[in-house]
A and B are shown apart, each in its own frame.
Chain A
Amino acid sequence: KAGVTQTPRYLIKTRGQQVTLSCSPISGHRSVSWYQQTPGQGLQFLFEYFSETQRNKGNFPGRFSGRQFSNSRSEMNVSTLELGDSALYLCASSLEGVNTEAFFGQGTRLTVV
């Protein structure tokens, strides 16, 4: 079966712009979680969506938001980009949530200049 697909793979944006990243989970998975990965902070949890509802949120500013559609596909949006938002953004899908086996996509590499 197809894995988790994230688009785009690479993105370059300017400070102050906004960006939308997309994640298509494995078919049948209802939970999608988003993570930010940087060399300094490692992997940090952003939020989790389950059946179109945000179920959990990490400690990130309100500029980071997301949503999930009825087909379980998810998007995350970052507004008013800052240089420090440069990172690899990963999404993971699972059947029931973060307490079950999760499968990660390859990530979107965002560079803010």
Chain B
Amino acid sequence: GESVGLHLPTLSVQEGDNSIINCAYSNSASDYFIWYKQESGKGPQFIIDIRSNMDKRQGQRVTVLLNKTVKHLSLQIAATQPGDSAVYFCAVLYSTLTFGKGTMLLVSP
């Protein structure tokens, strides 16, 4: 199976800062990793994904880093904005998708 750990339940940043949210996973055979954003009252929204044959993938203001050696996944958000305030989940695929508990990102103006 797979288990996904959370490093920090809440992260508070100032507008304009860069944010880093982390996840750790347990199964080295996991091969697909996804970050989701969930705003209050809404379903999770896909942000970015990465497969195990990559170490880094960039989107618009977001970067996902995958360190397979230590089984660690991170999401970096550049120039964080108040609209980025939400709960962020990582999900790891090994047979089925396993989700982390989520980090609540709070962005102050």
Q: Does A106 contact B102, Cβ atoms closer than 8 Å?
A: no
Closest-by-CB residue of B relative to A47 is: B96
Q: Does B43 contact A105, Cβ atoms closer than 8 Å?
A: yes
Residue A103 is within 8 A (CB to CB) of chain B in the complex: yes
Among B93, B96, B102, which residue has its beta carbon within 8 angstroms of that of A42?
B102
Q: Which of A43, A56, A90, A102 has the most CB of B within 10 A?
A: A43
Number of contacting residues on A, CB 8 A? 21
Number of contacting residues on B, CB 8 A? 22
Q: Does A98 contact B93, Cβ atoms closer than 8 Å?
A: yes
Q: Does A42 contact B41, Cβ atoms closer than 8 Å?
A: no
List residues of B (7-44) whose CB comes within 8 Å of A's CBs. 31-32, 34, 36, 41-44
Q: Does B41 contact A106, Cβ atoms closer than 8 Å?
A: yes
Give B contacts to A, CB under 8 Å.
31-32, 34, 36, 41-46, 49, 89, 91, 93, 95-102
26 contacts between A and B (CB under 8 A): A4-B43, A33-B97, A35-B99, A42-B89, A42-B101, A42-B102, A43-B99, A45-B99, A58-B96, A92-B43, A98-B32, A98-B93, A98-B96, A98-B97, A99-B31, A99-B32, A101-B49, A102-B34, A102-B46, A103-B46, A104-B36, A104-B43, A104-B44, A104-B45, A105-B43, A106-B42
Give A contacts to B, CB under 8 Å.
4, 33, 35, 42-45, 48, 56, 58, 90, 92, 98-99, 101-107
